[in-house]
């Protein structure tokens, strides 16, 4: 068989391991290459009967544990990914034999994300070659980002902000929209030429993820890709987390504490973050009782983002262990896809896990009118400068912290 025909078979969307043995001729020597007959159709049948048949072998609970999501959500993802990228559509090769199904390719990709295993780990069960599994992973994370990022990596809308403000007010922090922090992902196969800039206090190459998470573990903001030699402040300086607020396109958040009116939401942050009007930090070594109460509440609720990181790493072990890919672009796609899938799971499980015991529509008071989202740019450069200065205003930071201290103490006294 000629080398051109052999390459054509390899480039086919079906499994390249269909051929038992082929002889490839070149000008200098006669080479013999062996390939494994995996019988991928039997692999598809086994996978379908185990999880997707009318009476599957494994229950919904087992499916949830192994796929990290419900069967309904998984089937919804498969249908949209298959419609978006023809790579996942089952085809016939040059020998008119059926190739790998979308169930096999997406299951292999999802298991690699969930378990953090190598490309050939799923070969024995899914019957898929290592190169095909890696290609399926790359195309899957790309498709997830293209299809679902607009909905599941969006900015909070009216309903979202109303829910976040209601929960923040219930906790004693009116105007709170979530908490912010950074996470490091070790990069095992970082190129030697880049190792210096990617090594920080961990002494190993890492890539940083900055995220904003709310009480329900939904990740509203994700900024990934800076080298691990940066700290949280350096990441914040390059992060777009406040870009819409500075441009005047962010939803106004109006609330009142201790008689003082505020029109910007804020995030709970740890001590390294700057003293901006959009951050509320704890008090180190508090002496007064009301400051101790504030520090205890702030440090407890700031853990929402830490919990989100923990759940993200537990669901997708690939971001918990060292990254074995060589290109930062691929790592960015993997991290983005994991965050999108995490938010999809949070939304899918929210109705059955979230207990709503307060009315979102009753959170607005006289000084807190209904929220209106404005996506228009601010007028002129001076408006941008003023918004930028207002975000970094230290006086508002200290005033907001003082008002929250007194507000929490009053709530504590009433309770």
Mind listing the pLDDT tens digit of every residue in the chain (415 residues)?
A: 444 433 343 334 444 444 334 444 444 556 666 677 888 888 899 999 999 999 999 999 999 999 999 999 999 999 999 999 999 998 887 777 888 899 999 999 999 999 999 888 888 888 998 999 999 999 999 999 999 999 999 988 888 898 999 999 999 999 999 999 999 999 999 999 999 999 988 789 999 999 999 999 999 999 999 999 999 999 999 999 988 887 777 777 888 898 899 988 999 999 999 999 999 999 998 999 999 999 999 999 999 999 999 999 999 999 999 999 999 999 999 999 999 999 999 999 986 545 444 444 444 433 444 444 444 444 567 777 888 888 899 999 999 999 999 999 998 876 5
| Tokens encoding 293 | 């109460």
25 in a domain, yes or no? no
Nearest to 181 by CA among 266, 269, 267: 269
297 in a domain, yes or no? yes
pLDDT at 389: 86
291 and 199 share one domain: yes
254 and 127 share one domain: no
305 and 399 share one domain: yes
289 and 379 share one domain: yes
| Tokens encoding 78 | 């498969």
398 in a domain, yes or no? yes
Domain count, the chain: 2
139 and 168 share one domain: no
143 and 262 share one domain: no
46 and 140 share one domain: yes
323 in a domain, yes or no? yes
3-state secondary structure 48-66: HHHHCCCCCCCCHHHHHHH
9 in a domain, yes or no? no
**What's this model's pTM, rounded to 2 decimal places?**
0.85
281 and 373 share one domain: yes
256 in a domain, yes or no? yes
Is residue 272 a contact partner of residue 233, using CB atoms and an 8 Å limit? yes
pLDDT at 11: 39
pLDDT at 351: 66
139 and 207 share one domain: no
14 in a domain, yes or no? no
**Which of residues 150, 180, 202 is at a domain's end?**
150
180 and 70 share one domain: no
pLDDT at 176: 94
pLDDT at 23: 43
| Tokens encoding 381 | 């450069």
pLDDT at 123: 87
204 and 141 share one domain: no
229 in a domain, yes or no? yes
**Which of residues 150, 177, 200 is at a domain's end?**
150
Query: Distance between CA atoms of 296 and 276, rounded to whole angstroms?
Result: 21
Residues 6+ apart with CB under 8 A from 211: 180, 181, 182, 183, 219, 221, 222, 223, 305, 308, 309, 339
pLDDT at 159: 86
**Which of residues 150, 167, 198 is at a domain's end?**
150
Residues 6+ apart with CB under 8 A from 259: none
What are the distances in angstroms from CA 321 to CA 115, 242, 314, 317, 408? 10, 30, 11, 6, 40
Phi and psi angles of residue 34, each rounded to the nearest 5 degrees, phi first: -110, 145
Q: Which residues of 40-62 are buried (b: 16+ CB within 10 A; e: fewer)?
A: bbebbeebeeebeeeeeeeeeee
Is residue 3 a contact partner of residue 24, using CB atoms and an 8 Å limit? yes
Residues 6+ apart with CB under 8 A from 200: 184, 206, 227, 228, 229, 230, 231
Boundaries of domain holding 314: 158-414
275 and 312 share one domain: yes
């Amino acid at each position: 068989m000629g080398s051109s025909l052999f390459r054509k078979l390899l480039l086919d969307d079906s499994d390249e391991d269909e051929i038992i043995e082929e002889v490839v001729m070149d000008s200098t020597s006669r080479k013999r290459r062996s390939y494994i007959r995996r019988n991928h159709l039997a692999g598809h049948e086994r996978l379908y009967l185990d999880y997707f048949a009318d009476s599957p072998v494994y229950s919904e609970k087992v499916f949830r544990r192994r796929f990290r999501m419900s069967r309904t959500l998984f089937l919804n993802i498969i249908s949209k990914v298959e419609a978006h990228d023809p790579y996942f559509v089952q085809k016939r090769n040059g020998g008119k034999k059926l190739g790998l199904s979308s169930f096999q390719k997406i299951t292999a990709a999802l298991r690699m994300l969930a378990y953090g295993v190598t490309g050939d780990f799923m070969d024995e069960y899914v019957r898929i070659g290592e190169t095909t599994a890696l290609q399926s992973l790359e195309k899957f994370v790309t498709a997830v980002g293209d299809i679902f990022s607009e909905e599941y990596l969006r900015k909070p809308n009216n309903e979202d902000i109303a829910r976040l403000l209601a929960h923040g007010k219930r906790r004693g922090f009116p105007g709170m929209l979530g908490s912010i922090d950074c996470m490091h992902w070790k990069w095992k196969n970082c190129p030697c030429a880049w190792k210096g800039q990617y090594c920080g206090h961990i002494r190993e190459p890492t890539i940083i993820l900055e995220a904003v998470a709310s009480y329900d573990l939904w990740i509203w903001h994700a900024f990934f890709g800076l080298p691990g030699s940066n700290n949280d402040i350096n990441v914040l300086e390059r992060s777009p987390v406040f870009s819409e607020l500075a441009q005047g396109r962010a939803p106004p958040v109006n609330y009142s504490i201790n008689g003082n009116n505020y029109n910007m939401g804020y995030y709970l942050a740890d001590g390294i973050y700057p003293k901006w009007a959009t951050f509320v930090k704890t008090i180190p070594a508090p002496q007064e009782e009301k400051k101790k109460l504030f520090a205890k509440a702030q440090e407890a609720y700031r853990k929402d983002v830490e919990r989100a990181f923990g759940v993200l790493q537990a669901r997708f072990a690939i971001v918990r262990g060292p990254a074995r890919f060589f290109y930062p672009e691929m790592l960015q796609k993997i991290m983005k896809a994991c965050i999108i899938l995490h938010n999809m799971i949070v939304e899918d499980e929210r109705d059955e896990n979230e207990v709503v015991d307060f009315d979102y529509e009753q959170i607005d008071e006289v000084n807190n009118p209904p929220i209106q989202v404005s996506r228009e740019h601010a007028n002129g450069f001076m408006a941008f400068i003023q918004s930028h200065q207002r975000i970094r205003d230290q006086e508002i930071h200290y005033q907001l912290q003082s008002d929250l201290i007194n507000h929490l103490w009053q709530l504590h006294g009433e309770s």
